[in-house]
Amino acid sequence: MTTTVKPPNPEQREAVMDRLRHGREAVAQRWRDAPRWVRWAVLAAVIVFFYALPNKEFYQYLGPIPTPGANFTQVMFTVSIYVLMAVGLNIVVGFAGLLDLGYFGFFAVGAYTVAVLTSPSSNIKTLWPWLLVVPVAIALTMVSGVMLGTPTLRLRGDYLALVTLGFAEMIRIAAVSSDFLKGQRGFNQIPHPPGKYTDGKPIFGVLDARPYYWLVLTLIIVVVIGVRNLTHSRVGRAWISIREDEDAAQLMGVPTFKFKLWAFASGAAIAGLAGALFAGKQNFVNSQNFELLNSIIILAAVIFGGSGNIVGAIVGGGLVAYMIERFRGIELFGLELYEYRFLFFGLVLVGMMIFRPQGLIPNRRRAAEFKDRRKEVIVGE
Amino acid sequence: MLLEIDDVSLLYGRIQALHGISLTVDEGEIVALIGANGAGKSTTMRAISGIRPVASGRIRFNGEDITKLRADLRVRRGLCQAPEGRGIFPGMTVLENLDMGAYTRRDRAGVAQDLNRVMELFPRLAERRKQAGGTLSGGEQQMLAVGRALMSRPKLLLLDEPSMGLAPMLIQQIFNIITEINEQGTTILLVEQNAQQALARAHRAYVLETGRIVKSGTGAELLHDPSVKEAYLGVA
Ligand SMILES: Nc1ncnc2c1ncn2[C@@H]1O[C@H](COP(=O)(O)OP(=O)(O)OP(=O)(O)O)[C@@H](O)[C@H]1O
Ligand SMILES: [Mg+2]
């Protein structure tokens, strides 16, 4: 007997999707209904888990989680940087609804500010300590965000996407070709963050990546608390209203330009911080660190996790950065999987866009916005 | 004179949508603006609320020249528009939408009072306070848009086709509410396709044709004007 494979009919698919949706909603509901202390306990457990994660005594029991092809602690540092950036980009894309395609450009501004002001290979030889440069780096990225945003955020539409894309490319080209930014040769001997153990050894050394990871993790927590408070305030309401309907927001008296600029600049500042942390750990910064692809990955991570939702951004940023590293050192049918990492990444994204366009852990409002859009499409047909 | 528009022109790119229109709204009035599709009614509203810059002419509100004032600052001066096509925030609940209406206000007690008033005017919204705006029916969204504009406690309320897409029963109801809001002290500039109702309720009215004011008078005058009758009231 021959059977032709029938594509699942829409109703069946809808039924499966419904069941999935209900499962997730049940989990979400249980989480909301759980007593306060349970939620705090779970949160505390998660935080403790992530602080413990880079210790070999701990992660060796975690089965397939540690990366076979790379030092797991190093990988965790990279992942943490991505998470920090995803949280920052989520303000821009998720809350204010601004499409920033060149977010990594701000990371580069942060990293290069540190490099230029601290490294002995820099032309200006200021040789400042790392800690002193961090606020400068953050301020400079914010200024570049304001400079980029002021002319473009007044305009509607896709100008911002184009301008940010151009900005990131400009930074990259400057890094590759200008003598001041040293191109491939790069900057070396960038100082580490300060701090010594009681026995006089520096906390932030060359070999052990754990202190850097812990530092970034701590900063992530601080930033997340800050962002959360912001989103529950008038500022957050203004951002959401702009994202949902910019004209209507203005008609309600929201100074839309000001708030868009704020979202854009605070997102930039967080990327600048991430860049400064990166430079402080790496000891060496050159033009290879800033490929355009990184901007796209970060953006994809935020959308993947569920833009507009802080937890979604964290999970998205973490998972995407981790998965890319996880492929390293795995061979399948003689193919090095790492070489094909972006292919998988692309496939996953396409799948997401089809089945779950609102992201893994969507924002409640965002989900409603999607429903609304779908209605509009049906009406227009 | 609460609102005074003097010789205002507006361009969309190279298309001129308004050709030097002038109109006034006095404190306490309901003024209606009627006209065919594409006549420029919504455009006039956009010029007043400031989401579209005017090419020439002056707009004065409450004695102040607001021609160049940013839209959000006009709201703070007491000018609020319920946009055409509802323009509510789809992801926000009914309550959150209403809350956005009061965005410029700091007097919590007053806001709470106005919230109660809106809930009384629109009991349907009260029943659905936790529902996402985007999932409301068309008529409910319309009510939400009007209610939200009221939440800013405007001196002048701009309503762009509040009866659009409503069932006859609800149309009657929304016009009753408009009259009621006006009697409670809010001045209203009303754009309507439903010329019969609008003219019956308005103190004064203007007729707009291809970006020009072609006629004005009291509501009753226009209601009995033969050319208006023919063009907008469907009476031959
Ligand atoms: N954003 C825009 N860009 C270009 N032209 C526009 C734009 N908005 C409106 N127009 C044009 O300006 C003219 C007036 O439009 P407007 O929306 O003010 O009409 P209206 O009187 O409100 O019509 P309706 O009763 O259908 O709502 C129309 O010819 C329209 O096509
Ligand atoms: Mg209109």
Segment A158-199, tens digit of pLDDT: 788 889 989 999 998 998 888 898 888 889 888 989 988 888
Question: Under a CB-based contact definition with an 8 Å cutoff, are residues B219 and B202 in contact?
Answer: yes
Ligand 1 pocket test: pick from B16, B33, B42 the residue with the most ligand atoms within 8 Å of its Cβ: B42
Is B80 or A343 the better-scoring residue by pLDDT?
B80
Indicate which residue's Cα is closest to atom 26 of ligand 1.
Answer: B37
Q: Does A238 touch chain B (CB under 8 A)?
A: yes
Contacts of A256 (CB under 8 A, 6+ apart): A238, A242, A246, A249, A250, B72
Q: Pick the residue whose CA is nearest to atom 13 on ligand 1.
A: B38
Q: Is residue B158 part of a domain?
A: no
Quote the minimal CA–CA distance from A226 to chain B in Å: 22
pLDDT at A6 over 70: no
Shortest-distance ligand to the CA of residue A156:
1
Q: Is B142 on the interface with A (CB under 8 A)?
A: no
The ligand 1 atom nearest the CA atom of B36: 25
Give me the number of domains chain B comprises. 1
Mean pLDDT for all residues in chain A:
85
Question: Tens digits of per-residue pLDDT, A283-303?
Answer: 888 888 777 788 888 888 888
Set of chain A residues whose Cβ sits within 8 Å of the Cβ of B73: 253, 255
Question: Which contiguous run of DSSP H or E holds residue A137?
Answer: helix A130-152
Q: Which token pair is B94?
A: 């009914």
Whole-angstrom distance, CA of residue A168 vs CA of residue A101: 8
Task: List CB contacts (< 8 A) between B104 and chain A.
Answer: 252-253
Of residues A6 and B75, more confidence is placed in B75
Ligand nearest to the CA of B207: 1
| 8 Å CB contact of A241 and B100 | yes
* pLDDT attached to residue B47: 95
Structural domain contains residue B127 = yes
Among A residues 336-355, those touching chain B with beta carbons less than 8 Å apart: none
Average pLDDT over residues B201-205: 94
In a domain, B169, yes or no: no
pLDDT over 70 percentage in chain B = 99
Contacts 24+ apart (CB under 8 A), A16-21: A17/A355
Looking at CA atoms only, how far is residue A253 from chain B in angstroms? 4
Give, in order, the Cα–Cα distances in Å from A167 to each of A151, A287, A312: 13, 15, 27
Least confident of A53-62, A94-103, A370-379: A370-379
Is residue B96, in this structure, part of any structural domain at all? yes
B231 CA to centre of ligand 2 in angstroms: 17
Closest CA to A371 of A355, A358, A352: A358
Q: Which of B52, B75, B95, B100 to mutate to test the interface with A (most CBs of A within 10 A)?
A: B100
* B48 contacts chain A (CB < 8 A): no
Report which DSSP code applies to A357: T
Q: Which of B49, B133, B135 sits opposite A251 (nearest CB)?
A: B49
Query: Nearest CB to A368: which of B91, B103, B149?
Result: B91
Is B22 within a domain?
no
**Chain A residues inside the 8 Å CB shell of B70:** 255
A234, two tokens = 């008038």
How is residue A67 annotated by DSSP?
-
A381 min Cα distance to partner chain B (Å): 18
How many Cβ atoms are within 10 Å of A325's Cβ, its own excluded? 21
For B87-153, the DSSP string reads: ---TTSBHHHHHHHHTTT---HHHHHHHHHHHHHH-HHHHHTTTSBGGGS-HHHHHHHHHHHHHTT-
> Which ligand has the nearest atom to the CA of B43?
1
Asked if residue B110 belongs to a domain, the reply is: yes
pLDDT score at A79: 95
Locate the chain B residue with the closest alpha carbon to A234: B103
Q: Is the pLDDT of residue A247 over 80?
A: yes
Specify the pLDDT at position A267: 95
Tell whether A147 lies on the interface with B, counting CB pairs under 8 A. Answer: no
CA of B235 to the centre of ligand 2 (A): 23
Ligand 1 centroid–CA B71 distance in Å is 19
pLDDT at A367: 66
Residue B169 clears pLDDT 50, i.e. is over it: yes
- Which ipTM value was assigned to this complex? 0.89
**Nearest residue on chain A to B150, alpha-carbon basis:** A252
Q: How far is the CA of B76 from the centre of ligand 2 (A)?
A: 24
- For a mutational test of ligand 1's pocket, the pick from B12, B33, B37, B163, i.e. the residue with the most ligand atoms closer than 8 A to its C-beta, is B12
Q: Which ligand is nearest to the CA of B33?
A: 1
CB B5 within 8 A of CB B57: yes
User: What's the predicted TM-score (pTM) here?
Assistant: 0.85
Neighbours of ion ligand 2 (CB under 5 A): B 42, 84
Looking at A77-81, A232-236, A369-373, which range is the least confident one?
Answer: A369-373
Q: pLDDT-based confidence at A378, cuts 50/70/90? A: very low
pLDDT band at B235 (very low <50, low <70, confident <90, very high): low
**What pLDDT, in 10s, does the model give residues B68-109?**
999 999 999 999 998 877 789 998 999 999 999 999 999 999
Residues listed for chain A:
381
Q: Residue A320: helix, strand or coil by DSSP? A: helix
| pLDDT, position A10 | 64
State the pLDDT at residue A360. Answer: 79
Amino acid at position A339, single letter: E
In the stretch 178-207 of chain B, residues with CB closer than 8 A to chain A read: none
For residue A1, count CB atoms less than 10 angstroms from its CB and return exposed for 0-12, middle for 13-18, buried for 19 or more: exposed
Per-residue pLDDT, A80 = 96
Residue B186 maps to a domain: no
Residues in contact with ligand 1 (CB, 6 Å cut-off) = B 12, 15, 17, 35, 37-43, 84, 193
How far does the centroid of ligand 2 lie from the alpha carbon of residue B80, in Å?
A: 16
Q: For residue A5, what pLDDT is reported?
A: 52
CA A78, CA A209: separation in Å to the nearest integer? 10
Cβ-based neighbours of A134, under 8 Å, separated by 6 or more? A114, A273, A276, A280
Token look-up 């010029």 returns B47
Task: Of A71-80, A185-194, A239-248, A357-366, give the lowest mean pLDDT range.
Answer: A357-366
A30 contacts chain B (CB < 8 A): no
- Note down the domain range covering B136: 86-153
Nearest CA in chain A to B146: A252
Write out pLDDT tens, residues A249-275.
999 999 999 999 999 999 999 999 999
How much is the pLDDT for A1? 46
